[in-house]
Amino acid sequence: MKYRVALTLLAMPLLAANLYAASSLFVNMEPLLKDAGQDAREVAEAMGKQAPSKAASPCVTKEQAQDPSFPKERPYEASKPGPDGWTNINLEVRLVVGGPAVYAESLLEKYNVAPLLSPGTRLTIGSAAKGCPNGVIVRSAPEGGMINQSAGPSGKIWFTLNFLNRPKHGLDGFRFERPEIYAEGENGVWYPRWTAEIFYVMKNEIDAGDLTHLRFAEDGTPYSDDPRKVQVYSHIQGEGTIRHFDTDSDVPRYVLNTDANPNKIPGKIIAIKFESNNYSQAAWSSVTLYRMGIR
């Protein structure tokens, strides 16, 4: 099922020092991402519950959650590789609108992906639920959940996904989507400038000797301390700041897939560094990772 959703995301605290507070807010990002038009039952089934017959949204009140027939909280399960070798990152977690933030770092570590982040930031998980009021319980569907980097007021931030802890010390493929975006109202929508720098070595296998030379700088950039033994290369993709005012058209989704030409990576991917800058204007602080997969 394809999602083009009006997204409710975990809000980013206004000050970096507050990022580790016990609770945080949700912000309704309804003007940014357009509803796919699927009915509430489809959304609810994707979120792992049965929808009420006349439900207008997948929101679940605390009272409904206390009903014996409501599914209990399920333990998180990391996805398994599919027949094509791809593992789709499962972002299905239980969220409470207006409640504590749910962070993605520990979830990614279940896939042996180690995030490195610019100081004072976190990776948060957003929900595919639309317009739910504070206090209700929602569940982000496996494909509907998104990862966004929380930050202070504004500016340039970065995070790096380190794949050296994977069983083969790297990836053969990586993919994600930046969802379709639409504008609502005369102010339109701003989306931050972002880049994804893909770092790789020109090898099919990374051995223990190679690992001893691979390092990460303080800014999250991987490098080799002995390029004669192992050389690190990189390839950059991304988008400039998006300013969209036409309410009758969408900004098409952006798909990054390292298996697809002309961006196919000729080696083992060891890390991807994302840099974002919202210039104090864009509603989001960073690029949003949606439908992320690794191989």
Domain assignments of the chain as residue spans, ordered by start: 7-294
Q: How far apart are CA 172 and CA 130, in angstroms?
A: 35
Contact call for residues 92 and 43 (beta carbons, < 8 A): no
Q: Count helices and strands (H / E) in the chain.
A: 4, 21
Q: Which structure tokens are listed for 211?
A: 């690992």
Q: How many C-beta atoms surround the C-beta of residue 117 within 10 A?
A: 17
3-state secondary structure of 109: helix
Q: pLDDT at position 226, please?
A: 96
Residue type, 287: V
What pLDDT is recorded for position 21? 31
Task: Kindly give the parts of the chain with pLDDT less than 70.
Answer: 1-62, 64-65, 69-75, 97-98, 127-144, 152-154, 184, 261-263
* Rounded-to-integer distance, Cα 25 and Cα 165, Å: 33
pLDDT given for residue 281 in this prediction: 76
Distance separating alpha carbons of residues 206 and 294, to the nearest angstrom: 17
The pair of three-digit structure tokens given for residue 144, joined into one six-digit string: 């509907």
Q: Indicate the pTM of the whole model.
A: 0.75
pLDDT at position 129, please? Answer: 55
What's the token pair of residue 141?
Answer: 């569907």
CA distance 71 to 290: 25
Phi, psi of 80 (to 5 degrees): -100, 155
235 φ/ψ angles, rounded to the nearest 5 degrees: -140, 135
Q: What is the pLDDT of residue 235?
A: 93
Residue in the structure block whose two tokens are 């051995």: 207
Q: Residue 72 to residues 51, 52, 67, 88, 96: CA-CA distances in angstroms? A: 15, 17, 10, 24, 14
Distance (Å, rounded) from C-alpha 199 to C-alpha 172? 12
Distance CA 67, CA 117 (A): 40
Residue type, 125: I
